[in-house]
Amino acid sequence: MKKITVVGAGIIGLSVAYYLHKEGAEVTVVDRQPEGDKTSFGNAGGIAVTEVIPAAVPGIFMKVPGWMLDPLGPLAVRPAHALKLLPWLLRFYRSGKKDEFMRIYRSLSVLNSRVYNDLLPMLEDTGLMKELHRDGALTVYETEAGYNAEKHEWELREQAGIRVQHMTGDEARALEPALSSKVTHAVFTPQWSHINDPKVIVDELRGWLIKQGVNVIKGDVGEIQTAGAGQQQVKMKDGRTHFADDIVIAAGVWSRKLAEMLGEKSLVESERGYNTTIQDSGVQLSREVIFAERKFVATPLSCGLRIGGAAEFGGINDKPNYKRASSLAKLAEIYLPTLKKTEGIHWAGHRPSTPDSLPVISRSSLHSHVYYAFGHGHLGLTQSATTGRLIADLIYSRPDSLDYTPYSIKRFN
């Protein structure tokens, strides 16, 4: 029986642990705070399988100055972090070239087309199917120009097999009566789904794994040493050492540092996002709504209406600016007139974002018993189970299940 240690108990680490446990491995998950707050707790809850358009769309750099002029706008780079971000930005720029864009779009489509095949069995097996709402999502537009500007992206989605239904504002309001007359165009994507509460998924999945005998331990991993089979060492900062046959690094944005210790670059950056969750909001939505031009979303979760978005690059240690969370909730008043209040619980989390919008799902190029599962950016919840399955396929030598090249760590080295 293989002994495998997974570093990180976010949705990616737990999904990897799930699929490795199903293979019969003896799995240990190490996290400095197994039950603590993490990116996987506070996200928007979307199973966003239709999101196959990379962040670096051709021409995006023309829009950046406009977004950044607004101090609470959808994109921000903290000045102290700007220099450190340069390598990421250069690679992001290259990713927006036509050929690269198309390559990335195809690689995202391949990954997302597998999502339900991997997610549904995991939710079913762990008793979490009740948490999933398969009601689609509605992307809404305020202006004809905004809608027309994204028509090409909708065509690309259709070419990737994604079902889309274009609508007028009135048709969108027939589906979601809470929307104001500001909405003039919309696109309904029936394959999107959302969950009741991402924190519930993480907590219950962790609890289920523990009940099945998966060892979840508290430990801050400070060093990883590799050798032959059975000899990998995960060293915690308090001096404890854990031995394993294989190690999977699934530590979200913090994976970059762990990979660097092992001699591998990854360019993963924190793309901080914010939200406000409002209980008793007065807004009834049946599905997630994406406000395309203003770059925020609203999801009806069991813990309240969650309104969020923003992309802030400031590194891991910078303090969050919760004014962003408030400003998104205020923006929502324009589109959701029955919103009773904009105060709620503020939250910020570090999206582990690669410049090419593709996760790292990979065997290490330097250490044959180390694997990487991180860098899922905006789509970590969506791609969690698929990542778990793919890592299990890699460890158990079933690489034929996919061409892993686009997701390899080697692309950064």
Ligand X SMILES: Cc1cc2nc3c(=O)[nH]c(=O)nc-3n(C[C@H](O)[C@H](O)[C@H](O)COP(=O)(O)OP(=O)(O)OC[C@H]3O[C@@H](n4cnc5c(N)ncnc54)[C@H](O)[C@@H]3O)c2cc1C
- Contacts with ligand X, residue ranges (CB under 6 A): 7-13, 30-33, 38-40, 43-46, 48, 220-221, 250-252, 254, 273, 275, 308, 349, 351-352, 374, 376-382
169 vs 270, beta carbon nearer ligand X: 270
Q: Tokens 């519930």 appear where?
A: 200
Burial 312-324 (b: 16+ CB within 10 A, else e): bbbeeeeebbeeb
- Nearest distance, CB of residue 47 and ligand X, angstroms: 7
Position 281, amino acid: S
Radius of gyration of the chain (CA): 21
Give me the least distance between CB of 372 and ligand X, in Å please. 11
Instruction: State the minimum distance, in angstroms, from the CB of residue 401 to ligand X.
Output: 21
**Closer by beta carbon to ligand X, 11 or else 27:** 11
For residue 241, the minimal CB distance to ligand X (Å) is 13
Cβ-based burial of 120 (10 A; exposed 0-12, middle 13-18, buried ≥19): middle
Nearer Cβ to ligand X, position 48 or 391? 48
Q: At residue 358, what is the residue type? A: L
Q: Which residue has the tokens 């450190």?
A: 84
Nearer Cβ to ligand X (169/389): 389
Give the three-class secondary structure for 108. Answer: helix
Q: Can you read off the two tokens belonging to residue 192?
A: 């999107």
CA 182 to centroid of chain Cα atoms:
29
Least distance from C-beta 234 to ligand X, angstroms?
A: 9
Shortest Cβ 64–ligand X spacing (Å): 20
Residues paired with residue 30 on neighbouring β-strands, in sequence order: 7, 217
How far is Cα 375 from Cα 170, in angstroms, rounded to an integer? 39
Using the minimum distance from each CB to ligand X, give the nearer residue, 25 or 373. 373
Asked if residues 333 and 282 have their Cβ atoms less than 8 Å apart, the reply is: no
Whose Cβ is closer to ligand X: residue 31's or residue 393's?
Answer: 31
Nearer to ligand X, 12 or 205 (CB): 12
Q: Distance (Å, rounded) from C-alpha 391 to C-alpha 95?
A: 25
Cα distance between residue 204 and residue 9, in whole Å: 12
Minimum Å gap between C-beta 262 and ligand X is 13
Residue entry with tokens 């690669």 = 354
